[in-house]
């Protein structure tokens, strides 16, 4: 029966090519636009470390003075050197890392490559095991290197490709800002999206190319990128004693019980600091996990949300349009439907036949929508924004495109098919 | 022509009429708001920074192995490196003027704080200044950036000092934008008055006012102080530096090419890469790329929407014309002229579109209200909605014309034929 209906549907669609083309095109445009914007939203609001993100937490403290104090205010988004070091050395979590971003001039040994700037991350050793960073060669440094301010560095795969042609460079020397560093590890491809551990340097920016121990970078006064918030006397000559927050601190807490305990620890730390006179405000701490932190920072640009709404509005208009056109098309065939009814076809089977026709439009529209979505994403990738390169259609979105198209067209076919089935056969035959 | 036959005929096609009206309403709501967003973005992108942007470019560079700038001796060393660079750049042929500067409008790298006409004090929460961004430069800033001085005087060489990057000491003189000066001194008598920078107790004198200068940030967080800039006559000494350079007319490209070799010649211990030398046009381009992309996307979607709706009207009217073929023939046989048939379909469309736009106006306003509560939006001006209404009615009439003309060409003889 289905093949017969399909045959009827194709004949009917072929009979009025312009109308069919219009329905398919409208559906394809609506689906294409919706899927393009949804894919971008899907990519941007994704989990940067699936399976691990709910164990990673971002502690916040409020070490500011009473200037401009409001009780409901959120604590600063970063920590000062003093608090960061205190929390790091307390070792209350499974892993903890203190870090900040920067940029270093790299002076390649080969004269064929001019010196260039590379974005860098200055961090303590736990960064690598905590974020499950994959290594291609060697490994990260350890806590001893942190304490000794060792001149060691870890490169990303891309930078290793550029400097050493992709060969195992561990043990080799790299000159940065006129200082020699020993390469201890090379990362495999790794790009958590969004760049959750430091949102100051761009939520979706490409990640840094080189990693250096935090102590080493501060000793050598490497240039820093990111945000610095100061209060009171602000930045003195030395960032280590400055009343400024400028570092990110992350911890791994494996169970909810550990997270509760850690929050209590942060409160106690704040109380203790207040008692010592270091903190002036009442204890005000936060302990957000990765997704909570991204949510709080509203990393997905509001324009992207707006685009999704726009695309869905567009799809809605396209669907209303398709409903109208199908209605016209089906009602025009009342004569044919009347004959079928008179020959014994039930209302049910007529309804099924018309829905098959609507579904066929949906399938073709879906294929068109998929092509348009691929085109749309290709255009998005051509944009110079920093998340552009991430816009790719994955398998679930691809399937969703087809399901959405067919569902949409069936939905659009329901009303017209029902109206067309209602016409009494005798009346149609008589009027002809 | 009476309305009655038209209304009676419409009642026979309720579903189709409702669908077309709904489509027109939705299209109007979306297109009005999309065009409004486009308008807002264009306005944002086109606002002048206050700079004379042609022939202006920026060099950012970092020294390698330079002192840290954490003690007085190394600050002096860094300052002499900077002065060497400035001398080298000012000596280049084609250069009109050069100023060291920490940032530029639209560069999205800023140094912000607050100024007030009362001194800060150590008591809790007493300092409520006006937010501002600081531009640290020297006596060449106004001529290099092309800022227009509207009151007072420019910095002189004697005003210019220098300090380390992390040194927070306050300047003794500043030039403010007029917007900031008027906010601090609403009577307009800011010139010569004293202000306090970042809650300090050391007075700073306002010696001049420039007409307009935008802050470096382009994000929505800067909306509250976008024209509040303070120019400080201080060279910042750090292990990196930025120089704003004005080329003589027509020599921008040549000077931009000459800068890198000249700086390497003055001191090879530095790094300049592909992004180090950027014209102001490039900076502007990058700052507003997202707004431009959004405006283009909105424009394309609005255009396609209008086309889809127009095509839908053509399709549905064509169907109705086909269905009423015989009735049209009868009317013609009974004496209706071609123009009467044409008008019939045009008025019918006007009725449907009229209903559609009434619903559409309500939808557009509620959509705008929803956008206002969720995103950075303002109330949509009536003009946008009115234009949208007229445009929708015009599109409806244009779309209905072809099928209506076909209807008017139905010969009266059809009435006598069996279908």
Helix (H), strand (E), coil (C) string for B199-240: CCCCEEEEEEEECCCCCCCCCHHHHHHCCCEEEECEEEECCE
Is residue B126 over pLDDT 50?
no
Using a CB–CB cutoff of 8 Å, tell me whether A388 touches chain B: no
> What token pair was written down for A251?
């911890």
Task: Please give the C-alpha separations between residue B220 and each of A94, B107, B375, in angstroms, as whole numbers.
Answer: 38, 14, 11
Report chain B's mean pLDDT, rounded to a whole number: 88
Q: What residues contact B145, with CB distance under 8 A and at least 6 apart?
A: B51, B52, B56, B99, B101, B104, B213, B244, B246
Nearest CB partner across the interface for A26, out of B124, B301, B308: B308
Using a CB–CB cutoff of 8 Å, tell me whether A69 touches chain B: yes
Cα–Cα distance for residue pair B15/B242, rounded to 1 Å: 67
> What token pair was written down for B25?
């309403």
Specify the pLDDT at position B319.
Answer: 83
Closest CA to A354 of A376, A374, A381, A327: A327
| Weakest mean pLDDT among A229-238, A266-275, B82-91, B140-149 | A229-238
Name the closest residue on chain B to residue A232, using Cα atoms: B122
H/E stretch holding A101: strand A95-107
Name the closest residue on chain B to residue A65, using Cα atoms: B124
Specify the pLDDT at position B229.
Answer: 94
Contact call for residues B219 and B148 (beta carbons, < 8 A)? no
Cα atoms in the 13 Å half-sphere on the side-chain side of A361? 34
What is the number of other CB atoms lying within 10 angstroms of the CB of residue A282? 11
Closest CA to A250 of A80, A78, A135, A49: A78
Question: Helix A347-382 and helix A17-44: axis angle, to 10°?
Answer: 50
List the pLDDT tens digit at each of the 432 positions of chain A: 778 888 888 888 788 788 888 888 888 988 888 888 888 888 888 888 888 999 999 999 998 887 777 788 889 899 999 999 999 999 999 999 999 998 888 888 877 787 888 899 999 999 999 999 999 999 999 999 999 999 999 999 999 998 998 899 999 999 998 899 999 999 998 888 888 998 887 777 777 899 999 999 988 888 888 887 777 665 555 677 777 888 999 999 999 999 999 999 999 999 999 898 888 888 999 999 999 999 898 888 888 888 888 888 998 998 888 888 888 888 877 778 888 888 888 888 888 888 888 888 888 888 898 898 888 888 888 776 667 777 777 788 788 877 888 888 888 888 888 888 877 766 656 654
Question: Helix B338-374 and helix B14-46: axis angle, to 10°?
Answer: 50
CA distance B151 to chain A (A): 33
Name the residue with higher pLDDT: A228 or B99: B99
Asked if B316 and A69 come within 8 Å (Cβ–Cβ), the reply is: no
Is residue B121 over pLDDT 70?
no
Q: What is the pLDDT of residues B168-218, one digit of tens each?
A: 788 899 999 999 999 999 988 889 999 988 777 888 999 999 999 999 988
Specify the pLDDT at position B123.
Answer: 45
CA distance A343 to chain B (A): 22
Specify the pLDDT at position A34.
Answer: 87
What is the number of other CB atoms lying within 10 angstroms of the CB of residue A207? 20
Q: What is the pLDDT of residues B44-59, one digit of tens each?
A: 899 999 999 999 999 9
- pLDDT category, B118, cuts 50, 70, 90? confident
Cα atoms in the 13 Å half-sphere on the side-chain side of B92? 29
Percent of chain B clearing pLDDT 90 (strictly above)? 53
Cα–Cα distance for residue pair B317/B190, rounded to 1 Å: 68
Nearest CB partner across the interface for A69, out of B124, B311, B371: B124
What is the number of other CB atoms lying within 10 angstroms of the CB of residue A428? 18
Closest CA to A245 of A275, A279, A283, A194: A279
Cα atoms in the 13 Å half-sphere on the side-chain side of A339? 4
Specify the pLDDT at position B228.
Answer: 93
Using a CB–CB cutoff of 8 Å, tell me whether A313 touches chain B: yes
- Which residues on chain A are in Cβ contact (under 8 Å) with B166? 235-237, 239, 242
Contact call for residues A381 and A349 (beta carbons, < 8 A)? no
Asked if A303 and B37 come within 8 Å (Cβ–Cβ), the reply is: no
Closest CA to B28 of B377, B401, B387: B387
Closest CA to B303 of B371, B391, B228, B222: B391
CA distance A348 to chain B (A): 21
- Which residues on chain B are in Cβ contact (under 8 Å) with A22? 311-312, 315
Interface of A with B in 98-117 (CB under 8 A): 103, 105, 107, 114-117
Is residue B120 over pLDDT 70?
no
Cα–Cα distance for residue pair A141/A124, rounded to 1 Å: 9
Asked if A324 and B316 come within 8 Å (Cβ–Cβ), the reply is: yes
Specify the pLDDT at position A401.
Answer: 77
Asked if A332 and B375 come within 8 Å (Cβ–Cβ), the reply is: no
Q: Is the bond into A194 cis (omega within 30 degrees of 0)? A: yes
Is residue B375 over pLDDT 60?
yes
Asked if B315 and A26 come within 8 Å (Cβ–Cβ), the reply is: no
Closest CA to A141 of A128, A155, A160: A128
Is residue B127 over pLDDT 90?
no
Interface of A with B in 138-197 (CB under 8 A): 177-178
Domain residue extents for chain B? 4-45+290-416, 65-268
First to last CA, chain B: 28
CA distance B275 to chain A (A): 10
Interface of A with B in 115-134 (CB under 8 A): 115-117
Using a CB–CB cutoff of 8 Å, tell me whether A223 touches chain B: yes
Name the residue with higher pLDDT: B119 or A105: A105
């Amino acid at each position: 029966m289905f093949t017969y209906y399909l045959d009827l549907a194709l004949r009917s669609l072929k009979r009025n090519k312009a109308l069919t083309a219009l329905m398919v095109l409208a559906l394809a445009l609506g689906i294409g636009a919706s899927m393009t914007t949804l894919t971008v939203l899907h990519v941007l609001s994704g989990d940067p470390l699936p399976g691990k993100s709910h164990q990673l937490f971002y502690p916040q403290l409020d070490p500011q003075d009473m200037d401009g104090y409001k009780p409901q205010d959120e604590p600063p988004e970063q920590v000062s050197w003093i608090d960061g070091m205190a929390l790091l050395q307390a070792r209350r979590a499974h892993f903890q890392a203190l870090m900040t971003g920067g940029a270093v001039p790299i002076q390649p040994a080969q004269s064929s490559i001019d010196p260039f700037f590379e974005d860098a991350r200055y961090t303590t050793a736990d960064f690598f095991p905590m974020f499950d960073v994959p290594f291609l060669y060697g490994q990260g440094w350890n806590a001893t290197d942190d304490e000794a301010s060792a001149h060691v560095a870890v490169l990303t795969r891309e930078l290793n490709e550029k400097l050493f042609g992709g060969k195992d460079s561990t043990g080799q020397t790299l000159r940065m800002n006129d200082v020699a560093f020993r390469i201890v590890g090379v990362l495999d491809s790794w790009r958590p999206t969004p760049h959750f551990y430091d949102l100051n340097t761009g939520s979706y920016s490409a990640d840094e190319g080189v990693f250096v121990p935090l102590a080493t970078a501060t000793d050598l006064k490497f240039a820093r990128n990111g945000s610095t918030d100061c209060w009171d006397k602000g930045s003195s000559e030395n960032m280590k004693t400055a009343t400024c927050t400028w570092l990110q601190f992350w911890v791994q807490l494996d169970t909810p019980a550990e997270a509760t305990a850690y929050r209590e620890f942060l409160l106690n730390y704040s109380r203790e600091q207040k008692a010592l006179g270091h903190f002036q405000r009442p204890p005000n701490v936060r302990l957000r996990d990765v997704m909570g932190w991204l949510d709080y920072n509203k990393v997905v640009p509001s324009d992207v949300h707006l685009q999704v709404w726009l695309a869905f509005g567009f799809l809605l208009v396209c669907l209303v349009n398709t409903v109208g056109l199908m209605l016209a098309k089906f009602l025009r065939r009342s004569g044919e439907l009347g004959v079928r009814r008179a020959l014994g076809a039930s209302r049910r089977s007529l309804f099924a036949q018309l829905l098959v026709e609507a579904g066929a439009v949906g399938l073709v529209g879906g294929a068109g929508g998929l092509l348009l979505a691929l085109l749309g994403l290709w255009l998005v990738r051509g944009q110079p924004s920093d998340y552009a390169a991430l816009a790719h259609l994955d398998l679930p979105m691809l399937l969703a495109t087809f399901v959405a198209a067919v569902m949409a067209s069936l939905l659009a076919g329901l009303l017209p098919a029902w109206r067309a089935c209602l016409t009494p056969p005798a009346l149609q035959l008589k009027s002809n | 022509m009476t309305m009655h036959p038209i209304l009676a005929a419409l009642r026979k096609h309720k579903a189709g009429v409702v669908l077309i009206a709904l489509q027109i309403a939705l299209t109007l709501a979306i297109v009005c708001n999309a065009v409004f967003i486009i308008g807002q973005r264009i306005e944002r992108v086109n606002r002048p920074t206050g700079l004379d942007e042609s022939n202006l470019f920026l060099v950012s560079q970092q020294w390698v192995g330079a002192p840290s700038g954490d003690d007085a001796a190394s600050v002096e060393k860094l300052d002499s490196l900077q002065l060497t660079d400035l001398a080298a750049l000012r000596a280049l042929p084609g250069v009109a003027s050069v100023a060291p500067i920490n940032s530029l409008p639209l560069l999205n790298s800023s140094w912000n704080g607050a100024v007030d006409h009362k001194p800060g004090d150590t008591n809790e929460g007493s300092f409520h200044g006006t937010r501002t961004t600081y531009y640290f430069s020297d006596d060449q800033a106004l001529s290099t950036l092309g800022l227009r001085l509207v009151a007072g005087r420019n910095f002189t060489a004697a005003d210019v000092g220098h300090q380390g990057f992390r040194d927070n000491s306050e300047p003794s003189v500043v030039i403010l934008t007029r917007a900031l000066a008027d906010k601090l001194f609403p009577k307009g008598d800011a010139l010569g008055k004293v202000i306090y920078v970042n809650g300090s107790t050391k007075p700073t004198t306002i010696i001049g006012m420039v007409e307009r200068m935008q802050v470096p940030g382009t994000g929505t967080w800067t909306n509250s102080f976008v024209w509040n800039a303070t120019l400080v006559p201080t060279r910042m000494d750090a292990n990196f530096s930025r120089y704003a350079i004005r080329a003589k007319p027509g020599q921008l490209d040549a000077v931009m090419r000459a800068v890198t070799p000249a700086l390497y010649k003055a001191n090879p211990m530095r790094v300049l890469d592909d992004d180090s030398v950027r014209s102001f046009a490039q900076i502007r381009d990058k700052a507003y790329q997202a707004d431009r992309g959004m405006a283009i996307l909105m424009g394309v979607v609005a255009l396609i929407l209008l086309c889809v709706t127009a095509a839908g009207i053509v399709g549905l009217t064509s169907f109705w014309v086909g269905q009423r073929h015989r009735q049209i023939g009868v009317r013609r046989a009974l004496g209706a002229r071609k123009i009467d048939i044409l008008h019939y379909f045009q008025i019918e469309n006007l009725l449907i579109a009229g209903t559609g736009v009434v619903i559409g106006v309500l939808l557009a306003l509620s959509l705008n209200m929803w956008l206002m509560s969720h995103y950075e939006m303002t109330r949509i001006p009536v003009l946008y909605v009115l234009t949208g209404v007229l445009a929708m009615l015009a599109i409806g009439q244009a779309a209905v014309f072809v099928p209506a003309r076909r209807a008017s060409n139905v010969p009266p003889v059809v009435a006598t034929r069996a279908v």
